[in-house]
Structure 1
Amino acid sequence: MLFGTIVGSLADKQGRRRACVTYCITYILSCITKHSPQYKILMVGRVLGGIATSLLFSAFESWLVAEHNKRGFEQQWLSLTFSKAIFLGNGLVAILAGLFGNVLVDSLSLGPVAPFDAAAIFLAIGMAIILSSWTENFGDPSENKDLLTQFRGAAVAIASDEKIALLGAIQSLFEGSMYTFVFLWTPALSPNDEEIPHGFIFATFMLASMLGSSLASRLMARSSPRVESYMQIVFVISSASLMLPIITNFLVAPSKVKGGSISFAGCLQLLGFCTFEACVGIFWPSIMKMRSQYIPEEARSTIMNFFRIPLNIFVCIVLYNVNAFPITVMFGMCSIFLLVASILQRRLMAISDKPSNIHSTKSNIYQMENWTAMKERDPEAEALND
């Protein structure tokens, strides 16, 4: 939340290609720290990992959108690219990476750090591809723009355009629920220490996500329904799917027997969790599509990293209090957040047909930059502002 937001926001001014290379270097260093048993070094690795994650979720998408528009490609191709990225990257490659990591650790007995070493090799390959074949693009390359001005401009953009603010709130609510689910699904399926096949279940989740992204590709290929329309339904379905642990807790008598295989209630919950993962598969390319439409190019990476601040705060609060509440309360909270996301999505749908505020947003950003520059030239400007 702290370091990643700052470094990720530099991509607009310093260059998105350079930020993607920085991601590769930062995560390679993070992987190397896993070889140390010292807490301080491992904590440095987590700081590096936090920086890399912010770059991963902003710089690559910003580079792609800018490059796509610069080359004059059809806007529809962008939707297909996002869908394929989720289907192949977040789905198929995730499954293959999990299997490959399992082979390194179990079959070849190379130890638990071996997958991180393998990741570092693939990151180095990716960095070589970026350096050899990508061109550089920027958000706003003006030289007189410091980081604080960038953040102010992003804040002005979010405050002045309701669509951007709604998009940020929707993203934070859904991703916050998603990351909470990541920590809760294991204890939910094995409340009595049942023997559950974690690897197989994870692969099933990834398969469901792939199916969701494939469905999203078909939906975005059509002119109707629009992304803003069908995402309302997706949020309602995802909310209902996370209500299953609460419903099964009331309808199915909990087992008191320790160990054994997954229970009947666990099977019902697993079905709901797979449905939620399918919604996740639909969410990613759809939110990317909406971000490409509503977020101004000049501050794309900065605004996207702004969105991640409330998300990270939310996840930190949840993890800190994860043992303070029953697991059903946590799932109920996530379900409510997803319902709120559906309501906000409905509002976004209602105002999306109105003329875009993107020009006024750019104007407000430029006004903020000009005012900052004027203060530097004229000390009395601050008094004038008061």
Structure 2
Amino acid sequence: MMDIYSLNLTALLALCGGLFHNTRSQQQADSLKKTGEAATQDANDKKSKKNPALPFLVVYTLVMASDWLQGPFLYSLYREEHSVSPALISSLFTTGFLSGAASGTFIGALADRRGRRTACLTFCAVYAASCILTTISGSVVLLFLGRILGGLGTSLLFSVFESWIVTDLKKQGLETELSNTFGLMSTLNSIVAILSGVGSEWLVGAAGTRKAPFWVSAAILVVAGVLIFNTWEENFGETGSKPATAAPKDDDKKQENKLWATLFRPSILSLALASTIFEGSMYLFVFFWAPALQSISSSASSLPYGVIFASFMAATLASSLVFNIITSRGLISFSSLLPTILATSSACFFLSASPRTEQSTFWIFCLFEAAVGMYWPCMGYLKGKLIDDAVRAQVYGVLRIPLNVFVVISLLLTGDSGFGSVFSVCSVLLLGSTVGLWVARKKTQ
């Protein structure tokens, strides 16, 4: 007989299957409305528009898989196989976030000037090195170096890849495909997360060591690097072509002025606030969801964390499919959707601060993960539309600085505080960022 969490996961996967079927049926219905040459021309146009994003989506799937494979076993690898104390593990994680904050000050500028494709290749090398260093026992220095490279790699992962695809689509005249591409990215990311969770569990069981997922991640990054090198074109700041070198000082000054002008626009400031608070709250949720559920668990045995994690990812997948449906039909604007996501997340944290029953809390957490599934493509689209290509990677990198600082300060301040106080603060901050988005929207109308 299936336990309640297995039933929950089954229900969520069934929902995902229903949404997939709905999406496919709608596509087939749309195609039946077109006949003859019009249908053929439309199919050709659609194919030509999708092809430019395909090399990116393949690589994106691989790099996200390399990231997800490590997550479930990073802490246990440190604790169980490296025999690292909990206090030192906390320092290692903090080092990673600090590295991400520090690297955000320069990686964007380098990517815009030296090339986003080059930066993506650098990510593959840096993150693969981080994976290998993380598996080396007996040297605390190497473990810290692994976290430093991991923080740098994370900053690259969440800045230069988006910068590359946005500029590439615009260069191809396919700016209208931004929404569809970011929706696909969110869907693929959710699927990869579910498969990686199962895959990492299998790898550890087969190899008999928690180091196995990290070795496989490094190998995947090598494959991703080869694909980037062979299938991607380079793009830079400005309009996607190599910047002029006749007057480098003038170019630097122009870039700096454009960067600050972009960052201080009300729309960008509101996005920066929203991304810092939402993504920071998401990281804190990762730390505290397990103790929150355990505190009200009715079972004497340990919770099935793997199944619960898979359920969260299934909720994320379902919402990303819903995102594709509502945006393709124009049911809500992106500028209205983002505040709705933040407000929903605020309510989730508020309700979770004082949990009542195990199952109600689980489904509230699933609702938050659903908000996460809609947040990524929505935020990606808005940044793609609002941020100038000339300074795109720089802005993306800078936006991650307050995020990493927020997480580090939060972890240092929470200490032994319970999840209730953390969730309450997150709820208030998310509500504040929701108000900030609405105010910025009114000013720009």
TM-score (structure 1 length as normaliser): 0.82
Aligned-pair CA distance for 1:175: 0.7
Q: Name the counterpart of 1:370.
A: none
User: Residues 108 and 395 of structure 2 are in contact (CA less than 8 Å); yes or no, is this contact kept in structure 1?
Assistant: no
Letter in 2 for 1:234: I
Q: 1:162 aligns with which of 249, 258, 266?
A: 266
Q: Name the counterpart of 2:396.
A: 304
Q: Name the counterpart of 2:192.
A: 93
Question: CA 1:348 to 1:171, structure 2 compared with 1: closer, same or farther past 3 Å?
Answer: same
Question: CA 1:52 to 1:142, structure 2 compared with 1: closer, same or farther past 3 Å?
Answer: farther
Q: 2:295 aligns with which of 188, 191, 198?
A: 191
Question: CA 1:100 to 1:147, structure 2 compared with 1: closer, same or farther past 3 Å?
Answer: farther
Question: CA 1:219 to 1:9, structure 2 compared with 1: closer, same or farther past 3 Å?
Answer: farther
Aligned-pair CA distance for 1:347: 2.1
Secondary structure (helix, strand or coil) at the match of 1:118 reads: helix
Aligned-pair CA distance for 1:167: 1.2
TM-score (structure 2 length as normaliser): 0.72
Question: CA 1:301 to 1:194, structure 2 compared with 1: closer, same or farther past 3 Å?
Answer: farther
Letter in 2 for 1:45: G
* 2:320 counterpart of 1:320: no
Distance 1:44 1:302 in 2: 24
Aligned-pair CA distance for 1:293: 1.1
User: Residues 354 and 420 of structure 2 are in contact (CA less than 8 Å); yes or no, is this contact kept in structure 1?
Assistant: no
Aligned-pair CA distance for 1:154: 2.1
Distance 2:411 2:202 in 1: 31
User: Residues 136 and 143 of structure 2 are in contact (CA less than 8 Å); yes or no, is this contact kept in structure 1?
Assistant: yes
Q: Which runs of 5+ in 1 are unaligned?
A: 253-264, 354-386
Matches within 5 A, 1:242-321: 242-248=349-355, 252=356, 265-321=357-413
Letter in 2 for 1:32: I
Matches within 5 A, 1:349-368: 349-353=441-445
Q: Name the counterpart of 2:226.
A: 128
Structure that is richer in helix per residue: 2
Q: Name the counterpart of 1:379.
A: none
User: Residues 179 and 381 of structure 2 are in contact (CA less than 8 Å); yes or no, is this contact kept in structure 1?
Assistant: yes
Distance 1:241 1:194 in 2: 26
Aligned-pair CA distance for 1:194: 5.4
Letter in 2 for 1:216: F
Q: Quote the sequence identity (%).
A: 35
User: Residues 255 and 390 of structure 2 are in contact (CA less than 8 Å); yes or no, is this contact kept in structure 1?
Assistant: no
Q: 1:204 aligns with which of 281, 286, 311?
A: 311
Matches within 5 A, 1:112-127: 112-127=210-225
Superposed CA RMSD in Å reads: 1.9
Matches within 5 A, 1:135-150: 135-140=233-238, 141-143=243-245, 144=248
Letter in 1 for 2:218: A
Aligned-pair CA distance for 1:326: 2.6
Q: Name the counterpart of 2:345.
A: 238
Aligned-pair CA distance for 1:224: 4.2
* 2:280 counterpart of 1:176: yes
- Residues 350-383 of structure 1: per-residue CA shift (max 9 Å, x gap): 2443xxxxxxxxxxxxxxxxxxxxxxxxxxxxxx
- Residues 181-219 of structure 1: per-residue CA shift (max 9 Å, x gap): 111101111127851111001100000011111111122
Aligned-pair CA distance for 1:342: 1.3
Question: CA 1:326 to 1:298, structure 2 compared with 1: closer, same or farther past 3 Å?
Answer: same
Letter in 1 for 2:401: I
Question: CA 1:9 to 1:50, structure 2 compared with 1: closer, same or farther past 3 Å?
Answer: farther
